[in-house]
Copies of this chain bind each other. A is one copy, B any other.
Amino acid sequence: MSDLRDIQLSLPMQLLQAREAAMAHFRPMLRKHGLTEQQWRVIRVLANEPTLEVSELVARSLLLAPSLSRILSHLEAEGLVARSAHAGDQRRSLLTLTAAGQKKFRAVGPDSEALYEDIEARFGRKKLATLYQLLAELNEAIELAEETE
């Protein structure tokens, strides 16, 4: 009944399927460490910076502000992340990994890396590099469209 392209051939569905295939491996591992996928994203970003503002965390973790807000209060309650005042702007706050947070990062990191390397090895580093390049160009093309419309 439809002239619309097969749903399986739509770009967002392909991207979703590929991501789910990968995450199906990561989620059980993270679960063993007591973390969700999103909590791990936050910890991972914070592990590479001494401190970050919420807005920076939003940008780097690809989480929406309301989600991050909830996740941060959770991670604070667990003692993995600490919040401190921003000198000069009371609206902002600075987030840091606590010692416990750093310990968690060091515990999960190798397990995470192992899964990545497994995927890389099976898929091929060369093809993976091509895929990254294409995805970056896709983002660029779409963002360019936003400026034009």
A: residues with CB less than 8 A from B are 1-26, 41, 44-45, 47-48, 60-62, 102, 105, 109, 112-113, 116, 118-119, 122-123, 127-128, 130-132, 134-139, 141-146
Q: A1-B47, A11-B22 are in contact. List 5 more A-B contacts (CB 8 A).
A: A2-B47, A18-B142, A21-B138, A21-B142, A119-B145
Could you tell me the distance in whole angstroms from the C-beta of A96 to the nearest C-beta in chain B? 11
- Docked complex Cα distance between A25 and B58 (Å): 20
When distances are taken between beta carbons in the complex, the residues of chain B under 8 Å from A15 are: 15, 18-19, 22, 135
Could you tell me the distance in whole angstroms from the C-beta of A146 to the nearest C-beta in chain B? 8
Could you tell me the distance in whole angstroms from the C-beta of A35 to the nearest C-beta in chain B? 14
When distances are taken between beta carbons in the complex, the residues of chain B under 8 Å from A145 are: 25, 118-119, 122
